[in-house]
Amino acid sequence: MVNMKEHYQKMRDFYAHKPGARIYQREFGFFTLDRWKAEGYIQDDTDLAALFGFDPEAKVYLGGLGWCEPEFCPWFEEKLLEDRGEYELVQDFAGRGVLYFKGRRNGFMPEYMTSPVTDWDSWERNCKWRMDPNTPERYKDLEARMEEAAKLASEGALICQNLVGGYMYLRSLMGPEQLLYMFYDDPGLIHECMKTWFTLADTVTARRQQYITFDELFFGEDICYNNGPLISPDMMREFLLPYYQQLIANVKKRQKDKDRKLHIQIDTDGRCTDVIEIYQSIGMDALSPLEVASGCDVVAIREKYPDLLLSGGFDKRILAESKEAIDREVDRIMPAMAKSGGYLPTCDHGVPEEVPFENYMHYRKRMLEF
């Protein structure tokens, strides 16, 4: 494309794994903005992109297929279930019973007490009908949205269809503990839920692909914790991978631009090194956010998997230490990763509250060198 804007070119260089290319600048997220506001460093209307030197958005995220929860249509009614003094039990938009501090919904880890699916009856009564791919509401602004996406793509933006991954989807339906039992106690129900996941994703993407070509399928998975995957490789191959493989194959077959590469990205917290080759078997070529506290070393992963696109990998704990510690980590990671290309650095999860503003500004200064 002639005269492509710089931020589009930088993102395309990342996906092209171009050695030595200028690095696209962004952040995973923040948990420290309230602290920085209270300390007077930023205000509600502060332009964080300008302050921290972030690039403009270079991807079009189509959404509409969930991320941490299924894309129900309609959503569950959010309502108070029980007053427990300083706590309150609430039914959330995904049908879960969630225990919150009274009057607060953010800034802490909520406790999930109940889940919408416990058996076949609750699945059909509570959830399956909410995933009907033919619900008109799902497509009410389809043509206008796809036309806008096509316009941005013509300027250089990449089109990303982000969606809830199979494990994250099942976890939201059944809860993290009950799900693990259900794999053994009722595998038929697991497959039924995954067939519904596939049908919704396949139908919605097919409608969108009538208008545009995808550059990426991006799965929100979170299948790992600090010591590795939450289910075995064999269980992943039985319950998840066949549905991923069929969806990816169908999307590729429907692409309007047959020469466009379809990138597959997996987002999972925790120690993801044990699942890299499993996901590579379905075509994964991008991985994030590489949590250092769980043993993910972006430099070591690059050495073992030189063709894998990597995002994240900067230790959030080091941001809270000192400028000297930040310098040591930047100097350890960035020269080699910048030389190899295919790396998009961010904090390995949301920037935590204990990170001083001065430290983060120093980190941003160093990152802008690349």
- What does the DSSP assignment read for 278-308? HHHTTT--EEE---GGGT--HHHHHHH-TT-
> What are all long-range contacts of 35-39, with beta carbons under 8 Å and residues at least 24 apart?
35/353, 36/357, 39/357
**Residue 351 near residue 27 (C-beta atoms within 8 A):** yes
Q: What is the pLDDT of residues 240-253, one digit of tens each?
A: 999 999 999 999 99
**70 φ/ψ sector (left φ>0, alpha ψ -120 to 50, else beta):** beta
Q: Measuring CA to CA, how many Å separate 96 from each of 73, 81, 169, 237, 329?
A: 15, 11, 13, 28, 40
Give Cα separations from 217 to 136, 204, 247, 325 (angstroms): 23, 13, 10, 36
Check residue 179 and give its pLDDT.
Answer: 97
pTM over 0.85: yes
The answer to whether residues 38 and 357 touch, using CB atoms and an 8 Å cutoff, is no
* Average model confidence (pLDDT) across the chain: 96
> DSSP secondary structure string, 72-104?
-SSPPPPEEEEEETTEEEEE-TTS-EEEEETT-
Return the number of other C-beta atoms located less than 10 Å from residue 172's C-beta: 25
Q: Give me the long-range contacts of 302-306 (CB less than 8 A, separation at least 24).
A: 302/336, 302/337, 302/340, 302/343, 305/276, 306/340
Tens of pLDDT, residues 266-314 = 999 999 999 999 999 999 999 999 999 999 999 999 999 999 999 999 9
Rounded to a whole number of angstroms, the CA Rg of the chain reads: 21
Alpha-carbon span 2 to 15, nearest angstrom: 19
Contact 170, 221 (CB under 8 A): no
* Residue pair 75/66 in contact by the 8 Å Cβ criterion: no
Residue 280 has which token pair? 């590579």
Element (H, E) at 160: strand 158-164
Q: How confident is the model at residue 234, as a pLDDT?
A: 96
Position 256 scores a pLDDT of 95
Residues of the chain with pLDDT under 70: 1-2, 107
Q: For the chain, percent helix, then strand, then coil, each to nearest 5?
A: 45, 15, 40
SS3 at position 109:
coil
> Burial level of 22, CB count in 10 A (0-12/13-18/19+)?
middle
Q: Shortest CA distance to 348 belongs to which of 289, 293, 308, 300?
A: 289
DSSP, collapsed to helix, strand or coil, labels residue 217 as strand
**Is the Cβ–Cβ distance between 306 and 340 less than 8 Å?**
yes
